[in-house]
Structure 1
Amino acid sequence: MDQNRYGPSFQRNALAPGILAALALLVSQAWLAGAWDDILRYVVAILALIVAWFAIQAKHWWWVPVFAVIAVAWNPVVPFELEGPLWIGAHYLVALAFLAAGLLVKTPRQD
């Protein structure tokens, strides 16, 4: 039988949360330091932990510290008061990290 008949033999579980987080980070640039800032922090921190969990499941350990730092930097409980061009640049850099992890973290499909 053809192994590729039913699609790829792996799945990218981190792709959807990575895309959602990247979109949230990019759209947030219009509302930075606004009323949506707390909601953005919750979204990014939770999605960072979800992507880190998928990286653990896929045994891609090198992604875990990256998303742990992202979860801490964007945490809504004890927020860091960061602003300025470095914080805006961090939004774009973290959006790229989410997209890269979403594409690279993959696990074998179990049928």
Structure 2
Amino acid sequence: MSASYPDPARRVALAPALIAAVALLVGAAVVDAPGYVVVLFIVSIFALIVAVFAWQAKQWWWLVGLIPIAVLWNPVFPIDLGDPQLWRGLHFAAAAVFIAAGILIKITPPARER
């Protein structure tokens, strides 16, 4: 007879959240550069990916931070707040949201039937 252990919760949002956080930290340095649109794509796409993981984990409160990030960093309809210093500050705040979400969002797989 073998012991049966429950499947542990998995942090599936950690990898995309860390990739987005790194992109945001790099993006804070290149806000005025011509290649900044790449940062916009990375951040908005990964914000939606992490938002889906938050929805699947039934932790909807993360959507309050992730959906505005996806909208503000949207490359199709860019929002210009004007001040580059404000954008840099928002980059660091969004990176903090991604890191916290990546660590705290855990998905427990459904129980297996025998």
Fold conserved (TM > 0.5)? yes
Q: Provide the aligned length of Structure 1 versus Structure 2.
A: 108
- In 1, Cα distance between equivalents of 2:89 and 2:30: 15
Q: Spell out the pairing of 1:3-22 with structure 2 (5 A cutoff).
A: 3=5, 9-22=8-21
List alignment gaps of at least 5 residues for structure 1.
none
| SS of aligned partner of 1:95 | helix
Residue 89 of structure 2 corresponds to 89
Contact 2:32–2:84 under 8 Å retained in 1:
no
Per-residue CA distance 1:26-83 (angstroms, 9 max, x = gap)? 0122222112211111110000000000000000010112111110000001101123
Runs of at least 4 residues off by over 4 Å: none
Deviation (angstroms), 1:101? 0.2
Q: Which residue of 2 aligns with 1:108?
A: 108
- Please say if 1:31 is aligned against 2:19: no
> Partner residue of 2:56?
57
Q: What residue identity is the alignment partner of 1:100? A: A
TM-score for the superposition, normalised by structure 1: 0.88
TM-score (norm 2): 0.86
Query: 1:109 Cα deviation (Å)?
Result: 3.6
Structure 2 residue aligned with 1:75? 74
Whichever residue aligns with residue 3 of structure 1, its letter is Y
| Structure 1 residue identity aligned to 2:100 | A
Larger Rg: 2
Q: Over residues 68-105 of structure 1, what are the superposed CA-to-partner deviations in whole Å (9 max), with x where a residue is unaligned?
A: 11100000011011233221111001001000000000
- 2:45 counterpart letter in structure 1: I
